[in-house]
Amino acid sequence: MSKQATKAAATKTTAGSSKRKKTQNGPEEKLLAIRDLLFGEQVAQLESSINDQHKQLSRRLDNLESLVKKKTEQINKKIQATADQINDLMENNRLEHVSQESILEEKLSALTKSLNEFQQLTENGFGDAQSELNSASKAIYRSIDKEVKKLSDKIDKKSKELSNNKADRKTLATMLESMAVNLNQSQV
């Protein structure tokens, strides 16, 4: 501790003792005066040392406080920068998602259009095939019907011929029989 600080503390202590002496002159005052004489300089040094330590501690606390503020500001800036980066990434992801969504919607729309075209072509193709099949089946039916009629006519004609032939045969058989009987009678 410096000599000036010691003297200032001693003066302060002595001044305090003087005030006490003026107010009281009892045994306690004498004891305090003796104590001031014996330990006054040490008390003054101790008080000066405490004051110096207090000032030094105050400076250190001020420095620490400014350091904490500075570090807090740096951390806040880093947090804000990181938050901004995260927001930018999220916005980019959102935009990419929207872009991908629109691409998927376009592909889905194109696929739906292709499916509708295919369905229309298939329906048209089936319709055409069905009408061709209907036309072909009608033509085949007509052709078969004509053939059936022709065959039916031929069968009827042949059936009549056979009936006529049977009648002719019967007639011929009867005639031959009667000739045979006549021949037999004429020979008898």
Long-range Cβ contacts of 159-166 (<8 Å, 24+ apart): none
126 occurs within a structural domain: yes
User: Above 70 in pLDDT, residue 20?
Assistant: no
186 occurs within a structural domain: no
More confident residue, 64 or 176: 64
169 token code pair = 């045969």
The pLDDT of 118-129, averaged and rounded, is 81
CA atoms within 13 A on the CB side of 169: 6
pLDDT tens digit string along 36-80? 787 778 878 888 999 999 999 999 999 999 999 999 999 999 999
Number of compact structural domains in the chain? 1
Longest dimension (CA), the chain: 216
User: Above 80 in pLDDT, residue 10?
Assistant: no
60 occurs within a structural domain: yes
pLDDT at 41: 81
148 token code pair = 């059936």
User: Above 60 in pLDDT, residue 4?
Assistant: no
187 occurs within a structural domain: no
pLDDT at 162: 67
Domain boundaries, position 109:
3-143+152-175
Residue 13 pLDDT grade (very low, low, confident, very high; cuts 50, 70, 90): very low
The 10 Å Cβ neighbour count of residue 39 is 13
The 10 Å Cβ neighbour count of residue 48 is 20
Q: Are the C-beta atoms of residues 9 and 49 closer than 8 Å to each other?
A: no
DSSP state of 26: S
98 occurs within a structural domain: yes
64 occurs within a structural domain: yes
183 occurs within a structural domain: no
